[in-house]
A and B are shown apart, each in its own frame.
Chain A
Amino acid sequence: MTALQLKNISFGYRKNEKVLDSVNLSVEKGTVYGFLGANGAGKTTTIRLILGLLKAKDGHIKLFEKDIKDVYPKGLKQVGSLVESPSIYGHLSAKDNLKIWCKNFNIPQSRIFEVLEEVNLSDTKNKKTSNFSTGMKQRLGLAISLLHNPEFLILDEPINGLDPMGIIEFRKIILEQKEKGRTILLSSHILSEVEKMVDRIGILKNGKIVFEGSISDLEKLRQKDVQLKIKVDDVKRTIPLIGERNVNEVDRNYIHCVIANESEIPGLIEKLVSEKIKVFEFSQLSSDLENMFINVANE
């Protein structure tokens, strides 16, 4: 079953502006979907459209196979969300913040303690949230989104501003939610972190989906190309030897490039040496999601 489906979604804040251009994506029930893209790519806009905060100009959004227009706002009962920074009343404690949502959703207040436990905030339930750290606020935001036991979690940049410990803790919580069978859409630009949590990813660039697939699809891409970092004395003479198309980035004496196969490396080194180019460094970069993302986004 598809938890979320976007079909040809286009949107612009002004006439003739296209923040999103025919975006298609689908999130299967019970999976974690990583929604990736650089800042300004249109991730938050997409999430706002899904949640009904904005209205799409073209296309359809289906939530659990029903058009969002037909089920809005009641259909959002199945959705828990955290859009950018968490919405928290700073003058209240974590418990009181959750009490508000308990009353709104008409659910027993015993649920407060369950979600506080889930996000590891039980010890600070009575502390004023204005005194919370960024990580604690994010976790409380997540607790609010979990409170009504939604089937589907939509989290927009939830690890933004978290320190490494905070990121590890947050990841653990997300993985626990995944184990509980929840469907999760997770947007981020911190790619290496998303890689550890998601089943499928979609990469958004300038309002268009430029890659969508499973982690194993990504692995295939990873095996296909070899990323190199070369430091030479003459960049200008080196580039034509590597092939201009293969060069991703030039940073002073460093060239970042891609070759199709590992077996091409000895030949390339020989070619550079025979042309009397001094090679100071020649390293193969690990082709993690971060590099894949840069490649896909640059294509």
Chain B
Amino acid sequence: MLALISAEFTKLKYPPIYWLVGFVVSIMAALIFASHYFDINNIARINVDPWFKLMTASNSILAVFISVPFVVLFISAAVFIEHHSNIWKQQYVSPFGRSTIYYSKLATILLLVLFTFILVLCMTTLCGYVLNIIFPEIEFAFYSPPFGKWIQTTLRVFISLLGIIGIQYFLSLRFKGFLIPASIGVVFFVVGIIIGAMNNPIAKFFPYSYPMIFRDHKMFTIDKINITDYGILNSVELNSILCFVLFILLGNVLELNRKVD
């Protein structure tokens, strides 16, 4: 399985994927930089750790606006490579078994999404230090970045995305082109934002809303959605995991029985 995952990484030397990851990392850094640069008077406070504000802003922008379209486009592109190269038949006549191929591709996707989030974290940290050069009064250099907390919240963004990852992986395998799964994902993303922003309880059952409601990003009111906290995870995060498991298992069953052209 590890060998197959390593091979999957070689396949992803695909320019659109590089561009997508590069775009997400750059846009996140640019937004964080701009939000601090143009609002420096509100941000620079004596004896207040500026990293927490930066971390919160970064994770909120990532969760609400960036992560869903990124995951939708990324998964559609990663699976599209296989369809476009007419590779399934060659893969499925190799001695590994369809499930192994299916899960190794999924594992690669999960790892690369996480890797992109780590890159975002690194770039936004770098933004903090660059801002400190321009505005020393902001005191980014005086405090240490709260990496432990930051990684923890980033992981929670990732968990809230699992449902969408499951659905998009399922759709990308079912439809041969790039456009159909990507379009479905983008439409659902917009619907998810609308439902979440409207404070509609349905959002709890609509995975494309999860990244914006799994915690209060202080962008919209979400009090009517009734999220139950179970300690480590809350009900939205649990729904996301359940949705992921459901779609991944269903996808595997269908893949085992797929007639390959």
Contacts and interface: CB of A to CB of B under 8 A. Distances in A.
A89 B90 contact: no
A162 B189 CA distance: 47
Contacts of B90: 81, 83, 86-87, 144
B7 A103 contact: yes
Given A100-B7, A103-B10, A104-B4, A90 B84 contact: yes
Nearest to A71: B95
A74 B95 contact: yes
A165 interface: no
A208 interface: no
Most buried by B among A76, A79, A81, A103: A103
Nearest to A130: B85
A193 B88 CA distance: 29
A89 B81 contact: yes
A25 interface: no
Interface string A85-115: 1111111100010011101111000000000
B45 interface: no
A96 B3 CA distance: 15
Interface stretch (A47-55, A180-188, A270-278, A283-291): A47-55
B85 A88 contact: yes
B93 A96 contact: no
A73 interface: yes
Contacts of A48: 89, 260
B4 A53 contact: no
A85 B94 contact: no
Contact of A73 (B86, B94, B259): B94
Contacts of A85: 86
Contacts of B3: 103-106
B14 interface: yes
A73 B101 CA distance: 12
Contacts of B92: 52-53
A92 B13 contact: yes
Contacts of A96: 10, 13
Interface in B106-151: none
Contact of B85 (A51, A79, A87): A87
Contacts of B97: 73
A75 B90 CA distance: 15
B95 A73 contact: yes
Interface string B140-179: 0000000000000000000000000000000000000000
Contacts of A79: 93
A52 B6 CA distance: 25
Contacts of A83: 89-90, 93
B97 to A, nearest CB: 5
A172 interface: no
Nearest to A78: B95
Contacts of B10: 92, 96, 99-100, 103
Interface SS, B side: helix
B85 A90 contact: yes
Interface in B1-58: 3-4, 6-7, 10-11, 13-15
A88 B15 CA distance: 16
B184 interface: no
Nearest to B257: A55
A89 B93 contact: no
A7 interface: no
Given A91-B81, A100-B11, A81 B96 contact: no
Nearest to B86: A87
B84 A103 contact: no
B94 A104 contact: yes
Given A53-B89, A53-B260, A83-B89, A92 B11 contact: yes
B87 interface: yes
A196 interface: no
Nearest to B97: A73
Interface in A105-146: 105-106, 144
Given A87-B85, A87-B88, 10 more contacts: A52-B92, A53-B259, A73-B95, A81-B90, A87-B90, A90-B85, A91-B15, A96-B10, A104-B3, A104-B96
20 contacts: A48-B89, A52-B93, A53-B89, A53-B259, A53-B260, A73-B94, A73-B96, A75-B95, A76-B95, A81-B90, A81-B93, A83-B89, A83-B90, A85-B86, A91-B13, A92-B13, A99-B10, A103-B7, A104-B4, A106-B3
> Which 8 pairs of residues, A with B, have the shortest CB-CB distance?
A87-B90, A103-B7, A77-B95, A51-B93, A76-B95, A87-B87, A100-B7, A89-B85
Interface of B: 3-4, 6-7, 10-11, 13-15, 81, 84-98, 259-260
Interface of A: 48, 51-54, 73-77, 79, 81, 83-92, 96, 99-101, 103-106, 144
